[in-house]
Amino acid sequence: MAEQNGITLFLTPEIIEAQCQETIKQARNASHALAALIALQTFIAATVQSGDKFSPAYEAVKAAVERHAADTRARILAEKAHALALAMQHENRPEIARIHAELSRNGFWQAAQQAMRQLGPDGIAAAAIWAADWCQNAKASAQAASGFPEAFDFGKAGVSATEYAAMSEINIYLTDLIRR
């Protein structure tokens, strides 16, 4: 008897629904859950038999994983937006920089939009003044530390470049928001 060198997987929308729920439940946090769901999505797409690729069952399985991934992305974005709103309220630059580093540029802008809704008009105004002042002072310090006109040395000035990048993004967003 010849030994078989492969296995066949059988997925239904019900099976994948249960697997997605279990994946989310077992994940350490929403980011890990999303990574696992994306891996599952990639595995399914890469291993599906060509005859099943556009079948209703495959489309339903694919849609179930995509729905869970989208829900998890939305949860991550809401968590980051809440953390960003709190960081702006408390003028916490390292936290803003951490959130900025964890998200894509588009994700950061989306989180900022949600954070602004949480801050309200007075919070937005206060954050705008703080961000603009901090960015202006950081830029002036970095320029003075460089010794060359139009050049910046954030390290010599004692300014974190990652904080400056994140605060600059927030400053741009706040400035645009206030001008509207």
Return the domain boundaries, the chain: 8-77, 90-180
pLDDT (tens place) for every residue of the chain, 180 residues total: 567 788 888 999 999 999 999 999 999 999 999 999 999 999 999 999 888 888 999 999 999 999 999 999 999 999 999 999 999 999 999 999 999 999 999 999 999 999 999 999 999 999 999 999 999 999 999 999 998 888 999 999 999 999 999 999 999 999 998 887
Which DSSP string corresponds to 10-33? Answer: ---HHHHHHHHHHHHHHSSSHHHH
CA dist 139 and 156 (Å) reads 12
Nearest to 111 by CA among 134, 79, 86: 79
pLDDT on residue 63: 97
pLDDT on residue 9: 85
**Count of alpha carbons within 13 Å of 127, Cβ hemisphere only?**
33
Handedness of CA 101, 104, 105, 110 (dihedral sign): negative
- Tokens coding 164: 């400056």
- pTM given for the model: 0.83
pLDDT on residue 93: 97
pLDDT on residue 149: 80
pLDDT on residue 1: 54
Is-contact 23 29, C-beta < 8 A?
A: no
Q: How far is CA 121 from the centre of its chain?
A: 25
pLDDT on residue 2: 60
CA dist 61 and 83 (Å) reads 33
Torsional class of 11: left (φ above 0), alpha (ψ -120 to 50), beta (otherwise): beta
pLDDT on residue 158: 94
